[in-house]
């Protein structure tokens, strides 16, 4: 199953907005870090099939917010490999 690592940076007060969008997605893993600029960096791994819908939702939610950043990376390997049944209820 092809996976993508999504890295999103938002101001701390917008972190809950990201959580709300991910509520119905089924990330294979999720991490929150404090970015060097003081923002929140949220990283998560999702099946490639969920990426377009998630990116559309992030674009709609953060349109015009210049502090919002997203980076999308292909995942070459993950150990342990995510369960393929995890994405059945995804966005």
**Positions in the chain short of pLDDT 70:** 26-28, 84-91
* pTM given for the model: 0.81
Coil/strand/helix, residue 17? helix
Task: Report percent pLDDT > 90 for the chain.
Answer: 57
Q: What pLDDT score was predicted for residue 28? A: 63
CA distance 21 to 63: 14
Q: What pLDDT score was predicted for residue 18? A: 92
Instruction: Number of helices (H) and strands (E) in the chain: give both, helices first.
Output: 2, 4
Find out whether 24 and 91 touch, Cβ atoms under 8 Å: yes
Question: Going edge to edge, which strands form the sheet with 69-75?
Answer: 29-34, 40-47, 3-10, 69-75
């Amino acid at each position: 199953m092809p996976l993508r690592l999504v890295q999103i940076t938002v101001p701390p007060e917008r972190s809950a907005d990201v959580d709300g969008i991910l509520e119905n997605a089924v990330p294979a893993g999720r991490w929150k870090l404090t970015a060097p600029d003081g923002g929140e960096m949220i990283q998560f791994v999702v099946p490639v099939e969920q990426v377009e819908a998630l990116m559309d939702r992030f674009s709609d939610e953060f349109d015009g917010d210049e502090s919002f950043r997203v980076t999308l990376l292909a995942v070459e390997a993950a150990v342990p490999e995510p369960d393929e049944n995890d994405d059945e209820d995804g966005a």
